[in-house]
Amino acid sequence: MSLAPARSFAVKLLRWYAASHRDLAWRHTRDPYRIWVSEIMLQQTRAQAVIPYYLRFLERFPTAAALARAREEDVLACWSGLGYYSRARNLHKAAKLVGDAFPSDYAAIRQLPGVGDYTAAAVASIAFGLPYAVVDGNVLRVIARLTNDAADIGAPATRARFQQIARQWLDPRHPGAFNQALMELGATVCLPRAPHCPICPLAVVCEARRQDRVSQLPVKLRKIAPEKIAATLVIVERRGRILFWQRPASSGRMPGFWELPAPEQLPELPTPRVIGAFRHTITHHHYRVTVWAAEIKRPPRPLQWLAIKDLQTMPLSTTSKKALRLARIPA
């Protein structure tokens, strides 16, 4: 698609967005802090899953200054269950740099910890009206179909080319609304499977639809085979307390988080009672976690007792939360 048609379809896209977009909490503000928090949360996470975390996080930390003053443990506890915890740590680090003066230009936003090209463009365009194009997975899919481009979207060269196309298409008068409209189109209409082409506002300029290739695009050749992993967690309860261990600060994954022990951490484990099982997925790792209940006399170090009444304020891993819910223990 050339630049000229892009100017004409921008009007259609913006009209469609104004009438059809989802009513999401972060679309009711131009506050750069709140937009930044939403964009960080939305990285690799569905919008509907983000909503309760977004609302709870802003209630607890309504400004960047409030977030900067918080303890990391409290930030992680508020984020617990959303996954990819380096996002929360980077938010916390960046808030300490920002204070109450959130940067208003793209380059300064891009320098914040945990902020890449996508997030910087989103905040700059939505909060400040700056003409930077946002390219996420939804936008890549829309571009591939509108242009009927069968290049591998996992390849850096393709992504760079699609970024340039997005820049050409961007409506400089309404960059924030245009970016959100293009992402919304990919999220709600131009779906990976079974796209809703008959109601698409850009159907008349879609080359893939014209050539009946929508289902074949986009192309992503670099796929990682799923890995199935079996795991077991043990719930040891005594006098309103549960036995946990804490990941060390030097841990490469989720440092500072509390975890239920595995059987190998309890050498004197008596015959346990099976509570049930659940599934948990992290990228291409597919876990089937079995949950046991057991009693032990002398818990080995470094296991520690945590009061059940305090668990909701502690940074617990998602798998531990799921196991506790299976046992009907609030966490």
Element (H, E) at 245: strand 241-246
Q: For tokens 């850009």, what's the residue?
A: 202
CB-CB contact of 290 with 232 (8 Å): yes
DSSP code for 153: T
How far apart CA 79 and CA 69 sit, in angstroms, is 16
Tokens representing 321? 């939360």
Q: Closest Cα to residue 172, out of 15, 14, 330, 2?
A: 14
DSSP state of 190: S
d(CA 7, CA 15) in angstroms, rounded, equals 13
Query: Which residues are known to be catalytic?
Result: 39
Which residues on adjacent β-strands are paired with residue 305? 243
β-strand partners of 193: none
- Return the amino acid letter for 181: A
Cα gap 87→67, rounded to integer Å: 13
